[in-house]
């Protein structure tokens, strides 16, 4: 029988230690932001303590040491995500910045089509709506099935409208489903479309090979994979690397300037304007080292075990509605649900104040999907390396107690 012990020890995460008047928290909001191990904090402190220089600008030892560590981190990112090489990886603040970079850098003209799913994060919807307003592009929305992660025939039909760009999540922050990324890319490329994948959730919970998937663009946020906030990656594939237009320019992006002209640096530096978040990038590299040391490759199986356990323990709870794919192994790190007669916010507050269980509530930055269905949002529990059966069982106990205190209303009455 699977023990469902955490893959990483809780003692490595300062935020998981007990506080005065509270038991150690059961942190089940990792899809929003993961926790940070001490190794990441120490890597950032080392930069500020030992070599706090401007990497790539000055020639003194601190600046040269900072530049060496910064570029070593980029090389480590390329190895971890199996990119064609470090020059394809641009350090950004988060996935949202990467999505905006594609929107600003691609020469999408009036009438060009962009294909999205109906579960895209606001960051992968609003940016294209703005281009519809300013450039006259067209948006096509692909509905996702409720009974399985993806419908390939519906996707192939949507590609028949000849989109210039397919911009999909790789794994959903709404219900955890993972899309068949490589097949999506191959189908799109066969019809002449570029592919942008939002890897915010996928990269945090499963090994990713950019070389194998073959997208034109890929974005991710390190704050979902044990790294610091304000750090992320933007991948540019071989087809566009040399011709892609920078979305910001200025210091660090140019080799030289004159009053009438300038010469850009080679990729990726032409895309990294201004002073960078050196400490954050080094912290992100430390986060990836930590993931490797703690069996990151086993995380998908661990998450599936937690999902199966949670399904069994909540089976028969009155008024519980699960969202997303019915099979536990198709939900990744995310367990979304509603309790009839209770708002998502009330459920989250009860779990926090009564059981020190932290979950997300609301529309999870996918307002369009919930509004189209008349839903107030949902409660979302989400897991990572440091999540084990103990935390899941605390969630179950809290929900059972809440249901005893507030019985489910008769069918057809109260919130869904």
For residue 207, give every residue at least 6 positions away whose Cβ sits within 8 Å of its Cβ, in sequence order, or none: 296, 297
pLDDT by 10s per residue, the chain, length 416: 568 999 999 999 999 998 888 899 999 999 999 999 999 999 999 999 999 998 878 889 999 999 999 999 999 999 999 999 999 999 999 999 999 999 999 999 999 999 999 999 999 999 999 999 999 999 999 999 999 999 999 999 999 999 999 999 999 999 999 999 999 999 999 999 999 999 999 999 999 999 999 999 999 999 999 999 999 999 999 999 999 999 999 988 999 999 999 999 999 999 999 999 999 999 999 999 999 999 999 999 999 999 999 999 999 999 999 999 999 999 999 999 999 999 999 999 999 999 999 999 999 999 999 999 999 999 999 999 999 999 999 999 999 999 999 999 987 555 55
In 3D space, the residue among 95, 172, 169, 101 whose CA is nearest the CA of residue 131 turns out to be 101
From start to end of 317-400, where are the E strands? 320-322, 334-339, 357-358, 360-362, 378-382
Quote the pLDDT of residue 20.
87
Q: What is the DSSP letter of 283?
A: H
With helix as H, strand as E and coil as C, how does 55-67 read? Answer: CCCCCCHHHHHHH
Quote the pLDDT of residue 266.
96
Q: Which of 39, 76, 254, 365 is catalytic?
A: 365
Quote the pLDDT of residue 145.
96
In 3D space, the residue among 234, 243, 205 whose CA is nearest the CA of residue 384 turns out to be 205
Quote the pLDDT of residue 19.
87
Asked about 365 being catalytic, the answer comes back as yes
Place of tokens 């994979």: 225
Indicate the pTM of the whole model. 0.96
* Helices 278-293, 38-50: inter-axial angle, 10-degree rounding: 150
Q: What structural domains does the chain harbor?
A: 10-37+297-405 (3.90.1150.10), 40-293 (3.40.640.10)
Beta-bridge partner residues of 217: 196, 236
Output the six-digit token pair for 1: 């029988």
Quote the pLDDT of residue 246.
95
Residues in the chain: 416
The CA distance from 52 to 49, in Å, is 7
* Helices 61-80, 278-293: inter-axial angle, 10-degree rounding: 40
């Amino acid at each position: 029988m699977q023990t469902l012990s955490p893959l990483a020890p809780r003692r490595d995460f300062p935020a998981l230690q007990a506080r005065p008047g509270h038991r150690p928290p059961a942190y089940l909001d990792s899809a929003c932001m993961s926790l940070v191990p001490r190794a990441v904090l120490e890597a950032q402190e080392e930069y500020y303590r030992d070599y706090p220089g401007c990497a790539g600008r000055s020639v003194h030892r601190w600046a040269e040491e900072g530049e060496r560590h910064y570029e070593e981190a980029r090389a480590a990112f390329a190895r971890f995500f199996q990119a064609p090489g470090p020059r394809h990886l641009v350090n950004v603040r988060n996935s949202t910045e990467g999505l905006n970079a594609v929107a600003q850098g691609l020469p999408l003209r009036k009438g060009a089509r962009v294909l999205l799913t109906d579960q895209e994060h606001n960051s992968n919807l609003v940016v294209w709506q703005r281009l519809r307003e300013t450039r006259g592009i067209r948006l096509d929305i692909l509905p996702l099935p409720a009974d399985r992660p993806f419908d390939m025939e519906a996707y192939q039909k949507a590609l028949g409208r000849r989109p210039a760009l397919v911009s999909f999540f790789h794994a959903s922050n709404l219900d955890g489903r993972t899309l068949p990324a490589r097949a999506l890319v191959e189908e799109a490329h066969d019809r002449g479309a570029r592919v942008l994948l939002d890897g915010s959730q996928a990269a945090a919970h499963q090994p990713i090979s950019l070389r194998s998937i073959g997208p034109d663009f890929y974005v991710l946020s390190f704050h979902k994979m044990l790294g610091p906030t304000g750090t992320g990656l933007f991948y540019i594939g071989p087809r566009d690397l040399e011709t892609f237009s920078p979305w910001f320019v200025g210091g660090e992006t140019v080799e030289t300037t004159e009053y009438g002209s300038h010469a850009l640096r080679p990729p990726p530096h032409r895309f990294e304007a201004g002073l960078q978040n050196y400490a954050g990038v080094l912290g992100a590299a430390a986060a990836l080292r930590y993931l490797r040391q703690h069996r990151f490759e086993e995380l998908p199986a661990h998450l599936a075990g937690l999902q199966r356990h949670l399904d069994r323990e909540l089976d028969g709870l009155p008024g519980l509605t699960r969202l997303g794919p019915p099979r536990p192994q198709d939900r990744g790190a995310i367990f979304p649900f509603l309790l009839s007669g209770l708002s998502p916010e009330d459920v989250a507050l009860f779990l926090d104040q009564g059981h020190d269980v932290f979950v997300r509530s609301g529309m999870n930055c996918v307002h369009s999907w919930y509004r189209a269905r008349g839903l107030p949002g949902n409660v979302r529990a989400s897991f990572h390396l440091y999540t084990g059966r103990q935390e899941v069982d605390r969630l179950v106990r809290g929900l059972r107690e809440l249901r005893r205190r507030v019985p489910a209303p008769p069918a057809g009455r109260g919130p869904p």
